[in-house]
Structure 1
Amino acid sequence: MAPESNNHEFPYSLTISLPLPTNRLASSALRTLEVDSELSPFVRRTLSLESPTSEAPSEPKEKKQKQDHDESKSVLKTTYYATTNRMLRVAVNGFMESLGVILGVMAELDVDVLKAEMEG
């Protein structure tokens, strides 16, 4: 939560990268979170999906190359910008609460998550 020197209006920022098992789950989380915009004019948030920075070494190279670019995006990246440390903390706390609910619903109801638990 250190100040960024390049943005004087919103000098405080925090980036959270959340890896999820599949692109479908990451996309669902993104769409769910996008619905609620930040209420405070002192806070800005960006949401995006990204590919994991390191590939799983156990996957064959051919499978990695064939994988669709969008399908590889399974990391939900959220960046918050705020005018003060306090505003940043309050916004991120609310985000974490929402994220907890979303992940809880996925764990309870999502077919892929249940399938992975049964196989693992």
Structure 2
Amino acid sequence: MKRLKHTCSLCLWAFSAFTAGAWADPQEMPCQRNRLMEQWLDKQTPRWNRQLAVIDGFEAPGGIEICLAQSGSPRADYTANRIWLRYLDYEEDRRSLAHEYLHLAFKHSPRALDEAFIEATARQILEGDV
């Protein structure tokens, strides 16, 4: 029993040390900007914004910075207007970027919290079918 307790404590310590950076506040991390993805987003947003304008709650976000995340899932920082992405592959990065862009575009609407809506709409705007 004592060994099990020690093993559990060690696992918890390792998990907390490993995830400490993943859950850090993005505002506290320096933003290493991904200019390539920012340029791609700038080319897409005029078309996306025209498609999304008919959906209640949509507000075109401007001045988005795309930052390289060292760990964790892609995420949107609502206060700094940033999207944090890890390098995966070009196609996956584009899907993640569209998804996080929608979180920012609907940040003043309850739709921002509706993952099913965000994911379905991200697929649609990438295909041009909104």
Larger relative contact order, structure 1 or 2 (CA cutoff 8 Å, min sep 6)? 1
Normalised by the length of structure 1, the TM-score is: 0.33
Higher helix share goes to which structure?
2
Larger Cα Rg: Structure 1 or Structure 2? 2
